[in-house]
Amino acid sequence: MTAFASIRDLTVTYRRDSGEVAALKTISLDIMAGERLAVIGESGSGKSTLALAIAGLLPASARIDGRIDWFLRPSSTLGAKAPPLSGRTEGGVTELQPFKSEIGKIPLGGRDIGFIFQDPSASLDPVMTVGKQIAEVARAHLDLTWPQAYAKAKTLFERVRLPDPDSALRAFPHQLSGGQKQRVAIAAAIAAGPKLLIADEATSALDTIVQAEIVALIRRLVAEDGMTLLFVSHDIALAAELADRIAVFRHGELVELGTTAQIVSVPTQAYTRALLDAHIGLDAEPLLNRPRLDA
Amino acid sequence: MSPLRRLLRTPEAVAGAIILAALIAMALSASLLFPGDPQAIAGSALLPPFQDWSLPLGTDRLGRNVLAELFHGARTSLAVGLAAAAAALAIGAVIGTLAGFAGGLADEVLMRITDAFQTVPGFLLALAFVSVVGPSLGIVVIAIALGTWPGPARIARAEILSIRERDYVASARAIGMHPLEIAFREVLPNALPPVLAMSSVIVAAAILTEAALSFLGLGDPNRVTWGGMISEGRAVLRTAPFLSIIPGLALVLTVLGVYLAGEGIAETTAVRRGLS
Amino acid sequence: MTRALILLRRRLVGSIFVLLIVVIGTFLLLEAAPGDAIDAYIVSTGGDAGMIELLRHRWGLDQSELTRLANYLWALLHLDLGQSVTFSRPIRDVILERLPNTLLLMGSATALSFGLGSALGIYAGAKPGSFRDRFLSIGSLALYAVPGFWLGLVLIVVFAVDLRWLPIGGIETLASDKIGLDRAADIATHLVLPVAALGFIYLALYLRMMRAGMAEVWRQDFVLAARAKGLSRRRIVLAHVARNALLPLVTMLGLQSAQMLGGSVVIESVFSVPGLGRLAQEAVAARDTPLLLGIILASAVLVIVINFLVDIAYAFLDPRVGAGEAGA
């Protein structure tokens, strides 16, 4: 497997009234092409900051050090290349198109990276029809007219299994349930066919049954489109269900990184063990072999 | 940091404070610097400003000292502005507290009355009130307050509604305090800050309304007002526009000073709340 | 549009009570006025004590207060506001004659202040904390401190007296026999200065509200989501941030209508625009209290109607309005 993005010495500092708070401390991590990587940790562990940093969505007040190098294949599906944003050119893999960027600038938001937020009630514009909120993504990146973009939105609604896609196009967010809203948000995230899908606590605002449905939906979409998945969660059980690899964060540091089987059965760090114990007692088996729900 | 120093942290707040201080100084020193009747004739008529240094801002068409009028006008503007705002805030706080605390029919009736006062243009109401009762300083104050109290009343009511269910109110009820006593001694003081936060806007509006009333000839005829000066100057607008422009500039500066100081205070309290 | 209808019905019920309170209030003011319509009438026309008695009886002024309030209400139900002594005509006719000019002035001033104010507010709020944001913020605060009537005089001095670009007052050139587009253009030239004097304060208000509203919306999650979708900055600012920040401005449009009507009293006096506001000033000058109170009633009705319209506009702009009730 080859690296899709390579994070080196990433440090993010927020300025607060009381001084500076480091949300991430010299993180180095490779995201492999096509893998499903879970990032887990408690609140304040820096996991969401990592997701925002990768997507280039950190607020202007955040200070960012380190770098993220992207290795995007010359884009065949979309016919467009990511414009290089900054200068340094050492390293890189020759047959790939090396893409280097200073942290804080992403290759192409929306087109290369789809982002799903925690609370779908807050992440959808309350006064725009959800159809338009999907269509505007398709229009921005796929060079479509509005009618074409709406047609695309309808196809996407079918893909995320929204009931009655036709009338859903004209619905406003407040007319949908929490689960339906998150399906809309997912449709928006994948509208332009991104290579990387980032789900930042995408299920934690939903109740358990809906949560399982959304996880199954994400798994199916990632498999169908061959996307790389970065799944950020505080829930190690949920992460284990979905991910190939798990990265455990605590206090802004990467505590442990390994395959899901390694992390769940033979964690090397006491903190990881504590997280597991909190969930399943001492026996890790049920976590690995839980029946899977399919969307 | 002392509260004052914190208040003066932004340049806007400093500017506002300086303007207000100058204005208060003008109002307080008016009788000292320009004793006697400011409406008395002081020199030849229509003397332009910066010609005669005993009459720095010149004279109006009756030969009255413009600078003296400006100082005495500051008094009226400040006095009416502050008094009307205080009256509006007091009426608003009382009505809002009663409505919010009583609830039910009383609340409904009081709020419809508030609606009615907000539906009638405040300036028209003031105009009608002064013209029916007759112009004097006190009447002008009441007239302005009549059109201004609904805003504070609504805010006070909203605040009371959120406070009245809290624990200390319940405990006051439990020890058998009279409802009115609870309303005005326990609840109202806690509901005041957001109401008082409106004061700069209300003072500014009151000063502007007073000026507009005087401009239409409905101010207290025995006092110099900036609005009256502007109206006086209007008769000679073509030949001596400065007579209208000078008091107008004083008005603009005053109102701006009130706004700026108000923003400074709002920012200070916001910072304090953010830190606590 | 059922949501709008539900809102309107609720509003209508409230408005009837509000109007009733306004009517009783104006009646009390009328009672408090020293002297009555007869005194004013006699002052202007002359007459003896016998005639005063006769008139008092004919106009029902010798009855008890409650009867007179009932008479007053009954007359109002028939849209009868009484007789203006100054104009020797029904008050209703005088008001209806002046109303169009005021509506034209207010409508233009609202269009100017709302259009330009929100546009400048978007321009400032698109980049919070930038130089242009601070400049427009301070500038609008300064503008907000300017009394409209004084601004009107300054505009007259500059544009009518010194530059002679625009007429000094009035609503149209008298006895010019202009018709059609010529007349419209003539009225438009006469309206430029009063509209500017009346509208600039509100321009500052809408600018400040838009800017503050946008600062608030920038912090919302859906704006972050819009950035994550890779939308252009232009689209984020206009379609999402400004679109959401516009809603409180529309509410303000209704709340400010009463204020603006009050402001037009002074502006119409400065520019001699024969509208409702100038009529109010004439009524004060002539001590014609019934006329003044008729104007107040008419203004209250106007404000209620404007708020109706604003409510409908708001329901179209915000899909959430009334949704809870319609679903329940």
- pLDDT reading at B201 higher than 80: yes
- Alpha carbon distance B40, B13 (integer Å): 38
- Chain C positions touching A140 (Cβ under 8 A) are 229-232, 235
The pLDDT of residue C327 is 38
pLDDT confidence band for C185 (50 / 70 / 90): confident
Q: What is the mean pLDDT of residues A78-99?
A: 36
Beta A253-259 vs A245-250: how paired, if at all? antiparallel
CA–CA dist B9, B3 (Å, integer): 10
Of the candidates A126, A191, A192, the beta carbon closest to that of C320 is on A126
Cα-to-chain-centroid distance, residue A78: 20
The beta-carbon neighbor of C265 closest among B123, B217, B256 is B123
State which H helix or E strand residue A36 sits in. Answer: strand A36-40
C98: which residues sit within 8 A by CB, 6+ positions away? C274, C275, C276, C278, C279
- Which one of A172, A189, A191 has the shortest CB-CB distance to C319? A172
Are A141 and C225 an interchain contact pair (Cβ–Cβ within 8 Å)?
no
The SS3 call for residue B213 is helix
Q: Per residue in C276-294, pLDDT tens?
A: 989 998 888 888 888 888 9
C265 to B124: CB separation less than 8 angstroms, yes or no: yes
- State the ipTM, two decimals: 0.84
Sign of the alpha-carbon dihedral angle for A167, A169, A175, A180:
positive
Q: C139 vs chain A: nearest CA distance in angstroms?
A: 26
Query: Is residue C271 within a helix (H) or strand (E), and if so which, with residue range?
Result: none
| CB-based contact C17 B112, cutoff 8 Å | yes
For residue B146, the one-letter residue type is L
- Chains touching chain C, criterion 3+ CB pairs below 8 Å: A, B
Q: What band does A174 get if pLDDT is binned at 50, 70 and 90?
A: very high
For A45-49, A107-111, A237-241, C196-200, which range has the lowest pLDDT when averaged over its residues?
A107-111
Q: Quote the pLDDT of residue C82.
A: 79
pLDDT of residue C197: 92
| Neighbors of chain A by Cβ distance (3+ pairs < 8 Å) | C
Please count the CA atoms within 13 angstroms of the CA of B62 that sit on its side-chain side: 10
Token code pair at residue A203? 């299920």
Q: Taking CA atoms, what residue in C is nearest to A52?
A: C228
Q: Which residues of C touch A61 (CB under 8 A)?
A: none
Residues of C in contact with A137 (CB under 8 A): 229-231
Distance CA C322, CA C118 (A): 26
Q: What is the pLDDT of residue B210?
A: 92
Report how many helices (DSSP H) and strands (DSSP E) chain B contains, helices first: 13, 0
- For residues C153-166, give the mean pLDDT: 86
- Determine what percent of chain B falls in helix, strand and coil, rounding each to the nearest 5: 75, 0, 25
CA-nearest of A232, A229, A240, A230 to A279 is A240
Nearest by CB to A111, from C222, C230, C318: name it.
C230
The answer to whether the Cβ–Cβ distance between B116 and C21 falls below 8 Å is: yes
**Does C227 contact A at CB distance below 8 Å?**
yes
Tell me, what's the pLDDT at B57? 74
Nearest Cα of chain C lies from the Cα of A50 at a distance, in angstroms, of 14
Mean pLDDT, chain B, whole residue set: 83
Backbone angles phi and psi of A285, in degrees to 5: -55, -50
Confidence of residue A236 (pLDDT cuts 50, 70, 90): confident
The pLDDT score that the predictor gives to residue A280 is 58
Residue C93 to residue C99: CA distance in whole angstroms: 10
Interchain contact A9–C (C-beta under 8 A): no
Q: When comparing pLDDT for C212 and C80, which is higher?
A: C212
Which of A110, A127, A141 is opposite residue C228, by nearest beta carbon?
A110
Mean pLDDT over C208-218 rounds to 90
CB-based contact C221 A123, cutoff 8 Å: yes
Q: pLDDT confidence of C33, banded at 50, 70, 90?
A: confident
**CA B197, B200, B206, B209: dihedral to nearest 10 degrees?**
-120
**What is the predicted pLDDT for the residue at A73?**
61
Q: Which of B146-160, B192-206, C7-21, C177-191 has the highest mean pLDDT?
A: B146-160
pLDDT for the residue numbered A97: 37
User: What pLDDT, in 10s, does the model give residues B91-145?
Assistant: 999 999 889 888 889 898 999 999 999 999 989 999 999 988 888 889 999 999 9
Determine, for residues A108 and C235 on separate chains, whether the beta-carbon distance falls below 8 Å: no
Chains contacting B with at least 3 CB pairs below 8 Å? C
- Residue of C11, C13, C21 to mutate, interface with B, max B Cβ within 10 Å: C21
Q: Closest Cα to residue A188, out of A219, A149, A229? A: A149
B chain contacts of residue C258, beta-carbon cutoff 8 Å: 118-122
Distance CA C287, CA C280 (A): 10
For residue A217, the model assigns a pLDDT of: 92
CA distance A64 to A53: 8
Q: How far is A264 from chain C (nearest CA, A)?
A: 32
Task: Tell me the pairing of strands A19-32 and A3-16.
Answer: antiparallel
What proportion of chain C, given as a percentage, has pLDDT over 90?
Answer: 29
User: Residue A38 has what pLDDT?
Assistant: 93
User: Roughly what angle, to the nearest 10 degrees, separates helices B150-163 and B137-148?
Assistant: 50
C326 touching A, CB under 8 A?
no
Dist. CA C112–CA B36, nearest whole Å? 47
**B186 DSSP 8-state letter:** I
B interface residues, C as partner, C-beta within 8 Å = 12, 112-113, 115-116, 118-125, 127-129, 131-133, 147, 204, 208, 211-212, 215-218, 227, 230, 234, 237-238, 241, 244-245, 248, 251-253, 255-256, 259-260, 263
List the single residue in C220, C247, C320 with the smallest CB-CB distance to A174: C320
Quote the percentage of chain A above a pLDDT of 70.
82
**Stretch (H or E) spanning C13:** helix C2-32
CB distance A125–C243 less than 8 Å?
yes
For residue B30, CA distances in Å to B70, B71, B207, B214, B246 come to 9, 5, 18, 20, 17
End-to-end CA distance of chain B: 15
- Which is higher by pLDDT, C119 or A95? C119
| H/E run at residue C270 | helix C243-270
Confirm or reject contact between C231 and chain A (CB < 8 A). Answer: yes
Which of the residue ranges B231-245, C22-36, C50-64 has the most confident prediction, judged by mean pLDDT? B231-245
- The better pLDDT of the pair A277, A285 is held by A277
Q: How far is A116 from chain C (nearest CA, A)?
A: 8
- Give percent above pLDDT 90 in chain A: 31
CA distance A8 to A88: 14
Write the CA distances from A66 to A13, A29, A40, A88, A108, integer angstroms: 12, 12, 21, 13, 19
- Residue B65 scores a pLDDT above 60: yes
Question: Does an H or E element contain C190, and which?
Answer: helix C180-218
CA distance C323 to chain A (A): 9
What's the pLDDT score for residue A93?
A: 31
Angle, vertex CA B144, rays to CA B143 and CA B149, nearest 5: 105
Indicate whether B274 pLDDT > 50. Answer: no
pLDDT band at A136 (very low <50, low <70, confident <90, very high): very high
Residue B3 has a pLDDT of 61
Q: Which residue has the tokens 């909190």?
A: A278
* Closest approach of B253 to chain C, Cα-based (Å): 8
pLDDT tens column, A10-26 = 999 988 777 788 888 88
Q: Is the pLDDT of residue A271 over 80?
A: yes
Determine which of B125, B139, B200 to mutate to test the interface with C (most C C-beta atoms within 10 Å): B125
Summarize the confidence of residues B166-181 as an average pLDDT.
Answer: 78
Q: CB pairs under 8 A, 24+ apart, for C216-222?
A: C216/C245, C217/C241, C217/C244, C217/C245, C218/C125, C218/C128, C220/A122, C220/C244, C221/A117, C221/A119, C221/A122, C221/A123, C222/A122, C222/A123, C222/A124, C222/A125, C222/A126
A140 closest CB neighbour out of C221, C230, C317: C230
Tokens of A192: 């332009």
Band (pLDDT 50/70/90 cuts) for residue A78 is very low
Dump pLDDT digits (tens) for C254-266.
Answer: 888 888 999 999 9
**What is the DSSP pairing of strand A228-233 with strand A245-250?**
unpaired
Q: Name the minimum distance, in Å, from the CA of C250 to any CA of chain A.
A: 14
Q: Is A192 on the interface with C (CB under 8 A)?
A: yes
Is C138 in contact with B12 (Cβ distance < 8 A)?
yes
Q: Which residues of C touch A55 (CB under 8 A)?
A: 228
Q: Tell me the pLDDT band of A150, cut-offs 50, 70 and 90.
A: very high
Of A118, A104, A77, the C-alpha closest to A233 is A118
DSSP codes of every residue in C309-325 = HHHHHHHHH-TTTTHHH
Calpha distance A288→A265 (Å, rounded): 9
Is the model more confident about C306 or about C61?
A: C306
Are C247 and A127 a contacting pair at CB < 8 A?
yes
Find the range with the poorest average confidence among B250-259, C51-60, C92-101, C171-180: C51-60
Q: Is 50 exceeded by the pLDDT of residue C326?
A: no
Are C108 and C184 spatial neighbours (Cβ–Cβ below 8 Å)?
A: no
Q: Report the C-alpha gap between C287 and C289 in whole angstroms.
A: 6
Cβ distance B132 to C33 less than 8 Å, yes or no, reads yes
- Cβ of residue A123 closer than 8 Å to a chain C Cβ: yes
User: C-chain residues within 8 Å CB-CB of A191?
Assistant: 229
Residue type, B259: Y
Radius of gyration of chain B, Cα coordinates, nearest whole angstrom: 22
Distance from C-alpha of C210 to C-alpha of A113, rounded to nearest angstrom? 32
Identity of residue B203: V
Q: Which residue has the higher pLDDT, A270 or A75?
A: A270
> CA dihedral defined by C122, C125, C130, C134, rounded to 10 degrees?
90
- pLDDT of A290 over the 90 cut: no
pLDDT tens, C87-140?
Answer: 888 888 999 999 999 999 999 999 999 999 999 999 998 888 888 888 898 888
| Per-residue pLDDT band at A287 (split at 50, 70, 90) | low
- Chain B residues with beta carbon closer than 8 angstroms to that of C281: 127, 216
pLDDT, position B91: 94
Strands C89-90 vs A196-200: parallel, antiparallel or unpaired = unpaired
pTM over 0.80, yes/no: yes
